[in-house]
A and B are shown apart, each in its own frame.
Chain A
Amino acid sequence: MLRILLAATAATLLASAPLGATEPKTSDLKTSAGAEVAPGISRERLEQAVAAAWKNLPPDMQARVVQDETMQLCSQYRNSPPPAVADAILAREKKNVAYPADGKLMGDWKAGEKLALSGFGGRMGDNPKLPNGGNCYACHQLAPAEISYGTLGPSLTGYGKIKGNTPEVQKEVYERVYNAQAVFACSNMPRFGHNKFLTMEQIKDAVAFLLDPASPVNK
């Protein structure tokens, strides 16, 4: 019974439906400074407060504070964009997915496992010369032996066993990890490749951790 349940949740993968959505006030696909982001609060007002709280930053840090179009829309619609906005996000994000030149999408599952366990990287004080972690276990259940897993994302235990590892499946998983919003608009999952938080090689390793029959995820 539990196996079936796990399989069902794994099948939905990252398609977690956001809760607490508010009715969109506008069907504009573009964001605007005047858009209301909370009762009586325009985006312009919000961004004024943000700029005052994070000021005098070097350019790389400043870039973290500023939202791109997708972040703006997901924030405005509280991760439940109306269909037309969701389609626009999907189209934009799909264009952003980059693939390895040699076409190989499965890397080393052992490196992928290390990646899944590590929450290192990107925080103030983290050495930027060391590789970032994917921190998959923060949100997902993966190998059954690892009991310290989060529940913000669906369980992925047995994912490769359920889905197989055909080229199509590999491509699907690679895309989800590279840019979750190319598959599901306003997904809670980070756009790891798009944001350059993980390298292509690391994403390939994550794909292997999920799909390789030898990976503990599928044992």
Chain B
Amino acid sequence: MIPGWKALALAGMTAASMTVSSLVSAALTSAVAQPAAAPSAGAQPAGDEDADKLLEKYRAMISDPMSNPGYLAVDSGEALWTTARGPKNATLETCDLGKGPGKLDGAYAEMPRWFADAGRVMDAESRLLWCMETIQGLDTTALRKKPFASSGGNPATEIEALVAFVANKSNGFKYAAKMEHPKEREAVALGEALFYRRSSLNDFSCQTCHGQEGQRIRLQNLPFFDTAKAAQATMGSWPTYRVSQASLRTMQHRIWDCYWQMRMPDVGYASEVTVALAAYLTKKAEGGAIEVPSIKR
């Protein structure tokens, strides 16, 4: 369990963040307070439209990269990448993210991918941990145990910062993970099977919330990944700075958070399950533009 997360948990299911919901409900109170002649049911679609418009406005307000605190994580990630550390006193500048040692530009856009040296399909997070272990000789046990910063303005963990830095180097690139290696194809198929696997106290699977176009939980819109545009918009905006958590969050965190909502125990960080789901979703987002870190509620 991630400490500090509890406070947020009390706010209820993800729904709209407190910021968004209070903004919207405040605005809607006035929008819905129409002349008595207006039938109450008739006011509902107008309310929905207004909510959408206000949410759009809110998103536009927070999407200014110059004021996106996620870039602090990018900067600390760069420092971590270029600083000699660990028993081997080495930097990560020889880390091969798939395009050759130290080649950063566009590497994130082609992950997850098969790495022959590790004998595994890896996403950016698994690969960076692997580089920290093999190149720097660092023990990543503690980091794997607590990979995510506690909510509430705490600085990004080392792995979050490194992912933010590496992902940012794919800005302007389009998702182009080939998924042609048999093991990559297997990861995508395994991710698909996981997407539909129902479990736990509420019988949920990923499909429960992301299986239909245009659905929402409370006021929160849910991406439907069979629509390429939605998959691209979602995957192209992670890592993201989440205002409601005041933290930079990665795709591994997004998947952990979804399983948390699904009432599952904590899913293994950088496990085959989370990498396979990331592979499945990245395949769906093929061709989508990357612009990260983004900023979300």
Is residue A118 within 8 Å, beta carbon to beta carbon, of the partner chain?
yes
Residues of B within 8 A of A125 (CB): 1-2, 5-6, 9
Residues of B within 8 A of A119 (CB): 12-13, 15
Contact between A40 and B186 (Cβ–Cβ < 8 Å)?
yes
Contact digits for B34-53, partner A, Cβ 8 Å, 1 yes 0 no: 00000011101101000100
Contact between A120 and B12 (Cβ–Cβ < 8 Å)?
yes
Q: How far is the CA of A150 from the CA of B40 in the complex (A)?
A: 19
Number of residues on chain B facing chain A (CB within 8 A): 66
Which residue from chain B places its CB closest to the CB of A22 in the assembled complex? B196
Distance of B65 from chain A, by nearest CB (Å): 30
Other-chain contact of A124, B16, B207, B260 (Cβ < 8 Å): B260
A190-B201 contact, Cβ under 8 Å, with A18-B211, A65-B265? yes
Residues of A within 8 A of B189 (CB): 38-41
Contact between B197 and A50 (Cβ–Cβ < 8 Å)?
yes
Residues of B within 8 A of A38 (CB): 189-190, 192-193, 196
Q: Which of B72-122 contact A (CB under 8 A)?
A: none
Which residue from chain A places its CB closest to the CB of B195 in the assembled complex? A38
Distance of A131 from chain B, by nearest CB (Å): 14
Contact between A19 and B212 (Cβ–Cβ < 8 Å)?
yes
Q: Which of A17-52 contact B (CB under 8 A)?
A: 18-20, 37-41, 45-46, 49-50, 52
- Interface size class on chain A is 35 or more
Contact digits for B187-210, partner A, Cβ 8 Å, 1 yes 0 no: 001101110111111111101110
A147-B12 contact, Cβ under 8 Å, with A65-B200, A123-B263? no
Is residue B62 within 8 Å, beta carbon to beta carbon, of the partner chain?
no
Majority secondary structure, A binding face? loop
Residues of A within 8 A of B47 (CB): 147
Q: Which of B154-191 contact A (CB under 8 A)?
A: 185-186, 189-190
Q: How far is the CA of A172 from the CA of B209 in the complex (A)?
A: 25
Residues of A within 8 A of B185 (CB): 40
Contact between B10 and A54 (Cβ–Cβ < 8 Å)?
no
Most A CB within 10 A of own CB, among B1, B47, B201: B201
Contact between A49 and B272 (Cβ–Cβ < 8 Å)?
yes
Q: How far is the CA of A47 from the CA of B219 in the complex (A)?
A: 34
Distance of A191 from chain B, by nearest CB (Å): 6
Which residue from chain A places its CB closest to the CB of B5 in the assembled complex? A125
Is residue B216 within 8 Å, beta carbon to beta carbon, of the partner chain?
yes
Contact between A52 and B199 (Cβ–Cβ < 8 Å)?
no
Distance of A164 from chain B, by nearest CB (Å): 20
Contact between B218 and A150 (Cβ–Cβ < 8 Å)?
yes
A49-B276 contact, Cβ under 8 Å, with A71-B203, A190-B204? yes
A-B contact pairs, 28 of them (CB 8 A): A2-B44, A2-B45, A20-B207, A20-B211, A37-B193, A37-B197, A41-B189, A49-B194, A50-B194, A54-B265, A54-B267, A65-B264, A78-B207, A118-B12, A119-B13, A119-B15, A120-B9, A122-B263, A124-B260, A125-B1, A138-B13, A138-B218, A144-B44, A147-B25, A147-B32, A148-B15, A150-B215, A151-B214
A interface residues, Cβ below 8 angstroms from B: 2-3, 6, 18-20, 37-41, 45-46, 49-50, 52-55, 57, 61, 64-67, 71, 74-75, 78-79, 117-120, 122-126, 133, 135, 137-139, 144, 147-152, 157, 181, 188-191, 195, 197
The 5 A-B residue pairs with the shortest CB-CB distance, nearest first, are A119-B13, A53-B273, A38-B193, A119-B12, A53-B271
Known: A64-B201, A148-B25. 15 other contacts (CB 8 A): A38-B189, A53-B268, A54-B265, A57-B265, A65-B265, A78-B207, A122-B201, A135-B13, A138-B217, A147-B219, A148-B24, A149-B218, A188-B208, A190-B201, A195-B202
